[in-house]
Amino acid sequence: MTVSEPAAPAWLDLLDWRRRVADLYAEVRTGRAQDPAGAHRRWAQERSELFRSHPQTPLPAGARAAFAGLPVWPYDPALVFGARVRSLPEERLTVASSTGQDLPLVRFGRAEFGDHGLDLYWIDVYGGGVFVPFRDATSGQESYGGGRYLLDTVKGADLGSTARGDLVLDFNFAYHPSCFYDARWSCPLAPPANVLKFAVRAGERASLPPAP
């Protein structure tokens, strides 16, 4: 979301952005089954193209001419999990945003994978949607300090579930919120319950690695 609401014509641009993101994730869900690395390349390329050319790009105007694509880590199959969801008593809470606004959420479960887990939230406003933000040992150095997002289904960012019903958590598709690129955007920050102690060097990163 942005700090100020867009003018009326921009709503249709926003609609187009969300349609294209939803279509991209539908393509990814299909492609991951046969060629996960190829689906990841397609995801990174299309996101870069949206950032480069779409009217709703999060990039500030001054950064667009020199934009060469979103930096991402190479695909790592070790960072793909089918997470069992453990139901939790529903708890309403708010998380802080990058601009100080609060976003109402309902915590309804925890996605557990190996020795780790991430709380699952339902965005408690009209339209709802499952929301899974996280921080990790790269946050504030190699990635945004406020965290990255794995799932935000109200905006189409949904990797689906496995055949047995486990939630797909593929960290190769972790992405930065819009406020990482421009402070005019207001983005929910990852809460303390969703801080991973290991480094997730997958998905979008803060910058390209230095040349060898």
Parse the chain into domains and list their residue ranges. 8-194
Predicted TM-score (pTM) of this structure = 0.92
Q: Angle, to 10 degrees, between the axis of helix 36-53 and the axis of helix 8-31?
A: 170
Q: How many CB atoms lie within 10 A of CB 178?
A: 20
Q: Position 175: which residue type?
A: Y
Q: What integer pLDDT is reported at residue 175 of this predicted model?
A: 98
N-terminal to C-terminal alpha carbon distance within the chain: 38
Nearest Cα to 45, choosing from 69, 66, 23?
69
Mean pLDDT of 112-123: 97
Q: What integer pLDDT is reported at residue 207 of this predicted model?
A: 85
Q: Is the pLDDT of residue 199 over 60?
A: yes
Nearest Cα to 146, choosing from 83, 97, 193?
97
